[in-house]
């Protein structure tokens, strides 16, 4: 199905410690990228000299009869000890193929590599296919600073990877209110809040309004997070995270950010890009 080549990977300071399988991914007509196969019986492992940042790009094969989005999960092990669970959600790409097979759009995550020699092992955890494709790149994330809204229903203390992150609750009736001076790029991380006894998935939307007019609406598919919780709200379970952006034009803005389309609440983390 795929043109596969077993090889030993060396990318500057990124060195493979396991044989990996190479997959040629064609983007549009002429551009071609090299990804590496991650399968249930074929983990991947690299060593990297830090300090630096690595960005891991991922894709999955996409069946022709699939619609909507698909979720896949990877376990990242650091230096044989720490484990991180990476959950990704993607949809069909219109341009990417591996041979005759359609692929998903790329999704990525970052690794902050500490000083010295570090090893990272990736394990196929869950996927609708047996294959997940990985690409490793030296790339640092943009710098973002957390913003504190001027109004919200309640403060939510989300625990993730032993860190406490401030989220703010919005409902369909009471918004999170953000006052900001532009021009600025705003990053919004949204989580639907599940009742503790709820199961399954939930579709929800976030609606941003200014002066009573909707300026941006984004819809998402949520499922219960397996790696985070609210430290101060045990009867509520956060969903997986969803990220989107808002460009605040020059001038002063007062945005009202609502949960839309259903009753309930969402947790929001709001950040501004640092230059």
Q: How many CB atoms lie within 10 A of CB 155?
A: 14
d(CA 105, CA 126): 18
Percent of the chain residues past pLDDT 90, beyond the cut: 79
Q: Which of 11, 48, 242, 29 is nearest to 135 (CA)?
A: 11
pLDDT for 3 equals 39
Q: Rounded to whole angstroms, how far apart are CA atoms 54 and 14?
A: 9
What residues does 58 pair with on adjacent strands? Answer: 107, 134
Q: What is the pLDDT of residue 150?
A: 98
CATH 2.60.40 is the classification of domain 4-138: no
Q: How many CB atoms lie within 10 A of CB 161?
A: 10
Q: Show the tokens assigned to 121.
A: 């092992």
Kindly tell me the burial class for residue 221, based on how many C-beta atoms sit within 10 Å of its own C-beta (0-12, 13-18, 19 or more). Answer: middle
pTM of the model as a whole: 0.79
**Percent of the chain scoring above 70 in pLDDT:** 93
Domain with CATH 2.60.120 in the chain: 4-138, 144-273
CATH of domain 144-273: 2.60.120
3-state secondary structure at position 101: strand
Choose between 17 and 238: higher pLDDT.
Answer: 238
- Residue 165: both structure tokens together: 């992150």
pLDDT of 29 reads 59
Q: Residue 41, SS3?
A: coil
Q: Which of 104, 108, 186 is nearest to 140 (CA)?
A: 108
Rounded to whole angstroms, how far apart are CA atoms 18 and 9?
A: 9
Name, in order, each residue with C-beta under 8 angstroms of 105's C-beta and a sequence gap of 6 or more. Answer: 59, 90, 91, 92, 93, 96
The Cβ of residue 229 has, within 10 Å, a number of other Cβ atoms equal to 15
pLDDT reading at 12 higher than 70: no
Distance CA 225, CA 227 (A): 6
């Amino acid at each position: 199905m795929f043109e596969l080549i077993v090889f030993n990977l060396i990318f500057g300071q990124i060195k493979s410690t396991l044989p990996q399988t190479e997959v040629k991914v064609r983007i549009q007509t002429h551009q071609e990228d090299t990804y590496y196969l991650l399968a249930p019986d074929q983990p991947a492992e690299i060593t990297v000299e830090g300090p630096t940042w690595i960005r891991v790009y991922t894709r999955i094969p996409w069946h022709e009869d699939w619609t909507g989005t698909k979720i896949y999960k990877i376990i990242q092990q650091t230096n044989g000890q720490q484990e991180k669970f990476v959950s990704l959600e993607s949809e069909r790409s219109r341009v990417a193929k591996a041979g005759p097979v359609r692929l998903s759009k790329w999704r990525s995550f970052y690794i902050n590599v500490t000083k010295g020699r570090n090893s990272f092992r990736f394990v196929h955890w869950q996927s609708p296919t047996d294959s997940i494709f990985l690409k490793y790149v030296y790339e640092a994330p943009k710098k973002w600073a957390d913003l504190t809204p001027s109004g919200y229903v309640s403060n939510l203390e989300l625990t993730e990877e032993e860190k406490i992150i401030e989220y703010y609750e919005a409902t369909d009736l009471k918004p999170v209110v953000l006052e900001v001076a532009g021009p600025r790029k705003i990053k919004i991380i949204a989580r639907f809040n599940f009742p503790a006894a709820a199961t399954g998935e939930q579709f929800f939307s976030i609606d941003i309004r200014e002066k009573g007019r909707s300026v941006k609406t984004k819809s998402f598919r949520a499922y219960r997070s397996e790696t985070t919780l609210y430290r101060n709200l045990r009867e509520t379970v956060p969903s997986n995270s969803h990220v989107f952006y808002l460009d605040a034009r020059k001038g002063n803005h007062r945005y009202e950010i609502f949960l839309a389309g259903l009753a309930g609440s969402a947790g929001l983390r709001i950040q501004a890009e640092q230059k």
